[in-house]
Structure 1
């Protein structure tokens, strides 16, 4: 790392761009006209402002485009135009996939088969815009929202979408609305500093989790303080290697079944670009051949039931203990694993 690294600029997700475009389109459709810029509130309270790159309208519809700015993150969708057409409809808020946005064709994803690949949080954000603006402007909140991304079908070939059975284009993603720049060295350094601070405070039980949902569940499950929660993300190896040299008595590793299945397979970097779940391996290990044809780890869980999650937890624990149980000073570190699902329910534990 550089002594004085340049701060990395954050950006905005496709879901945030689609939400902003939805708001601007509704303003035009419901009589306020197209604004030059539009501001939205993200799930964690940030209030970014977006410039409109494209506008058009008809008698019962309006369409807005916004160029995605992913900041300094190497995101393949950086610079893509996210377009949203809002049309008067009936029966509440309905989502459609326009050109360049994919359709789900396989199970195991947070959106059902046949649905446009617009993830749950972006849907909630766009739906909230309809509800809020309809109430303010005295309109009926019956709107069809069609998201399209010019050249999205080509960009999608650079992602895992085709392999996951999302056909025709990209997914509209984002749980916070914010794209945080992916700097491996800086992130791992922050994990190390978290361990240093926790040890200095005399904490003996720490936890590293793959995301915010698993962090929340593990923290509540073990009644841990904020200082005990390490921002591990995908860098389980970076955390564990440092803990071997700077040990504590106990470490809990928590995450979704897909990430922890990769840990169980021996991966120390859990990012999707560095490896995938080997479902053929798990089918052989469990004697359940149907798992081999599953679409995702979540799909495998639905096929195999609790036995898959429990096997992932147990093998992940074996993998960690084999390499990181004994610290350099001879101390023994006690590890445990917590596997959760997307809703935050604990699927399995091993200790």
Structure 2
């Protein structure tokens, strides 16, 4: 039995499923097999977006102590380095009550701060962790009337592995980020969207056009799915179509706003995108625009930061690490200065287009809290 083909987006391109979704599906199937003694022909897996999909195990192993299931990642029309890779989960009984998660062979391990995961932890990002836990729990609930009581007295250990992960990781940014030994388990929506730059740019332009029709006075440009979710909490009065997920295409979105005659645009972003925009990067993909830590150290100096903070920022690992350093030193002036620069660079970009567009830049943290707001004028 083959897995159903991934759905297609509005352009007719196939979406795929993240490593996180594959890990969650494998963990759910392995849990069902361990506790029932038989493998499901297919397993329904829930996505962080609230949707579900079906996946079919491609490799399985079962004995009295553990169950191992592997799914083959289908990236749809976005064949990244993990397309076709086996994503596996081994579930075994443990004496510690509850559901426990760890990384096995081919899953990277965090060695540097600033990535949102503790040093030493497996590189399984927070949303996939929640997704794996939710699907294991759903498997339990489908087999027994009181899963909560079972977990109060029994434990399940879920180990995620990627047999080719260490080799594949050499073709990713993981080594540069201090993630060693394998790939990261990723995904915020559970899906992988087709990575075609021309089509992607066009979709951003179309979204701005649609948004301008329904909310001409004010559009909110969010750089990712989580940023968009947080933006909707910041501006609850705006209609849904006023929110545009622009991904890496800040400049494309601003140009489209000018062309569509939008009155005001609010850029809502997390620290890494604020840093890139402050550097004047209107396309903010990490591969082409690395964070300039010398620039960040200079910003700290201009903001009056202590020599200790300036030195720490110069040797930071990520933009998130810089934010954490400023918070630790109780000095947010450099972060405020960065937001000012992001606004200034965006205004200059609009001015070069000869447009009139009031701008606002909002920096949010990783839980959706508003850290800095800067207002400009058209």
TM-score when scaled to structure 1?
A: 0.92
Return closer, same or farther for 1:284/1:89 CA change in 2, 3 Å cut-off.
same
Q: Which segment is superposed worse, 162-171 or 266-275?
A: 266-275
Shift of 1:282: 0.3
Structure 1 unaligned regions, length at least 5: none
CA contact (8 A) 1:257 1:312 kept: no
Aligned partner of 2:247 in structure 1 is 233
CA–CA separation in structure 1 for the residues paired with 2:214 and 2:26: 46
- Counterparts of 2:215 and 2:281, CA distance in 1: 30
Flag the 1:54–1:256 CA change in 2: closer, same or farther, 3 A: same
Matching residue of 2:75: 70
Q: Could you say which residue in structure 2 is the equivalent of 1:85?
A: 90
1:311-350 equivalences in 2 (<5 Å): 311-325=337-351, 328=354, 332-350=356-374
Q: Which residue number corresponds to residue 280 of structure 1?
A: 294
Shift of 1:259: 1.3
1:301 is aligned, of 323, 329, 332, to 323
Partner SS, residue 320 of structure 2: helix
- The verdict on how the C-alpha distance between 1:338 and 1:49 changes in structure 2, with shifts beyond 3 A counting, is same
Question: 1:120 maps to which residue?
Answer: 126
Which of 248, 268, 271 does residue 254 from structure 1 map onto? 268
Tell me whether 18-27 or 224-233 shows the greater mean CA deviation: 224-233
Partners of 2:214 and 2:34 lie apart in 1 by 56
User: Do 1:326 and 1:333's aligned partners in 2 also have CA atoms closer than 8 Å?
Assistant: no
For the Cα contact (< 8 Å) 1:243–1:327, is it kept in 2?
A: no
- Alignment coverage as a number of residue pairs: 345
Q: What is the CA RMSD across the aligned residues, in angstroms?
A: 1.9
C-alpha distance in 1, partners of 2:313/2:49?
A: 37
**Structure 2 unaligned regions, length at least 5:** 1-9, 302-309
Which 4+ stretches in 1 moved above 4 angstroms? none
What is residue 180 of structure 2 aligned with on the other side? 167
Checking the alignment, whether the CA contact within 8 Å between 2:109 and 2:122 is kept in structure 1 is yes
Report deviation, 1:145. Answer: 0.9
**Contact kept? 1:97, 1:117, Cα under 8 Å:** yes
